[in-house]
Amino acid sequence: MYTYEYLENFTQEFFKKLGCNDADARISTDVFLEAELRGFSSHGVIRIRDYFNLWKAGRVNVNPNIKVIHETPSTSVVDGDRGIGMVVAAKSMQIAMDKAEKVGTGWVTSHNSNHYGIAGYYPSMALKKDMIGFSMTNANPLVAPTFSLSRMLGTNPIAVGFPTKNRLPFLADFATTPVANGKLSVAAKKGLKIPLGFVQDAEGNPTDEPGILKEGGSMLPLGVDPEHSNYKGYILSSMVDIFSGVLSGANFGPFVPPFVGFLPPSDKKVGEGTGHFFGAMRIDAFRPAEEFKEKMDEWIDIMKSAKLAPGQDEVLIPGELEYRNTQKLRKEGIPVIPQVVEEIKEIADYFGMDFEVRV
């Protein structure tokens, strides 16, 4: 178990060792630590190793010249200059918010970037300014379009946040598949089976084997099967890919580069790096922010008043579980699995940094 501050300090120093300036090290750290607190440890300090490997492979630029290459009053296209995804993303989201400040909404699509951590971090930035926030990213291909067997799309997440008055904000952050890839890896490592409807084998048969992706299998889109309209999950994943990749000039579809350093990127390129998409909408571009936020509280109270299904405790609002997790881990500390502790220790040794191995 580690305190927030311990992991924060280490992660910040790690990014500085890669060559990041203070501000870039801080934002990258903040995104990783927010992931830990919210309960997405698949996107937390486990990614230190991935950025270390990308850096060793020369595939990330720690002093990027991130710039707007095209714009209108409400839009921008950002070239991330092969920067760390969190750095490119936070700058892009800030540009979207600045535009929203001036003309009501701002929309930014970014190419030439890398893995940007949790999608839900960036809408949180907007919430503090009484704005609706959006973020999406494409990712390396794992998902087969409906009726097919080929890994053509990523688990391409969508995040959206709406501000509230006295309730917790509505903050959704979800992959467009029934399950995140990280959960498959965990199940595979533990030797567990998974429910049918998450993945298919290389011939398209249903399987409960979480490791099947290594044997030519693929993930299924949200919706489980064609009968239950998993083409809608395929549509959602496609939308994210088009907004993040095709619109920005990044790679898309099966050509999105892997975010791990040990897998080489595809020989064929259809754009530059990984792509993201961000949006910010000023609430008072539509109605007074106080009025909207009161109505959001009412909306939440209504949903929570629903009659519960047998055995259920409550109707959840997106972001609620993550908030509770944050409260808990801030108090009790952040657990890190032994394998990740070991990997971080090796990286610490590489740079001659201190890192205490704790269980």
Q: Which of residues 118-137 bind its own copies (CB under 8 A)?
A: 132
**Pairing status of strand 67-72 against strand 131-137:** unpaired
Integer Rg of the chain from CA:
20
Select from 10, 292, 341, 343 the one that contacts its own copies (CB under 8 A).
292
254 binds its own copies, rule: CB under 8 A: yes
**Pairing status of strand 170-174 against strand 274-282:** unpaired
166 binds its own copies, rule: CB under 8 A: no
Q: Nearer to its own copies by C-beta: 261 or 275?
A: 275
20 binds its own copies, rule: CB under 8 A: no
> Which of the residues 180 through 199 are near its own copies (CB under 8 A)?
195, 197-198
HSE, CB side, 13 Å, CA atoms: give it for residue 83.
27
Is residue 108 within 8 A of residue 92, CB to CB? The reply is yes
162 binds its own copies, rule: CB under 8 A: yes
Q: Nearer to its own copies by C-beta: 247 or 334?
A: 247
Residues 6 or more apart from 332 whose CB is under 8 A from it?
A: 1
Select from 60, 281, 334, 348 the one that contacts its own copies (CB under 8 A).
281
Cα separation of 211 and 215, whole Å?
8
Cα separation of 317 and 190, whole Å?
30
Identify the CA nearest to 131 among candidates 174, 90, 101: 101
> Which of the residues 58 through 117 are near its own copies (CB under 8 A)?
70, 72-75, 77, 103-105, 107, 109
Select from 168, 188, 260, 285 the one that contacts its own copies (CB under 8 A).
285
> Which of the residues 34 through 63 are near its own copies (CB under 8 A)?
none
> Which of the residues 323 through 352 are near its own copies (CB under 8 A)?
none
Cα separation of 33 and 28, whole Å?
9
296 binds its own copies, rule: CB under 8 A: yes
Contact range with its own copies by CB under 8 A, out of 16-24, 30-38, 282-290, 323-331: 282-290
